[in-house]
Amino acid sequence: MSYFEAVRLYSAVEVCIFSALLVVAIGGLGEGAETALGWTHGFGWIILCLLVAHGARRRIFPWALLAATVSPLGPVGSTAGLEYLARRRTRTESRSG
């Protein structure tokens, strides 16, 4: 698995955690679950930011992806950006092959 694919997968998992946090918080489904998901999302988002920053330094990702990741959109922004980059890569590879 490439670094790009690993960060893409991690970002998707982080979106799932963030989505679960929103459902629990908005639905008032339990303070314990909300706290656990909040901490998991918080640390996960920080790790995601560091992974994207490292990838941008290594020229795997454009710096704009880091901006999308640290924006209020957080993991949603990074996942959207990574999916865009993955599809652009696929089109480029299919044209050159």
- Per-residue pLDDT tens digits for 36-88: 999 999 999 999 999 999 999 999 999 999 999 999 888 999 999 999 999 98
Which helix or strand (DSSP H or E) is residue 82 part of?
Answer: helix 75-96
Q: Report the number of distinct structural domains present in the chain.
A: 1
Q: Which range has the worst mean pLDDT, 27-31, 33-37, 88-92?
A: 88-92
Is the pTM value of this prediction over 0.85? yes
Predicted local distance difference test score (pLDDT) of residue 49: 97
**Which phi and psi angles does 31 have, rounded to 5°?**
-65, -35
For 13, the 3-state DSSP assignment is helix
Report how far residue 25's alpha carbon sits from residue 32's, in angstroms, rounded to the nearest whole number.
10
Q: How many Cα atoms sit within 13 Å of 13 on the Cβ side?
A: 12
Report how far residue 78's alpha carbon sits from residue 41's, in angstroms, rounded to the nearest whole number.
14
Predicted local distance difference test score (pLDDT) of residue 96: 67
- pLDDT tier, 24 (very low <50, low <70, confident <90, very high otherwise): very high
Q: Tell me, what amino acid is at 74?
A: G
Mean of the pLDDT values across residues 28-38? 95
Q: Which range has the worst mean pLDDT, 5-14, 33-42, 48-57, 87-96?
A: 87-96
Where b means 16+ CB within 10 Å and e means fewer, 71-81 reads eeebbbbbbeb
Domain containing 82 equals 3-96
In sign, the C-alpha dihedral spanning 41, 42, 44, 46 is positive
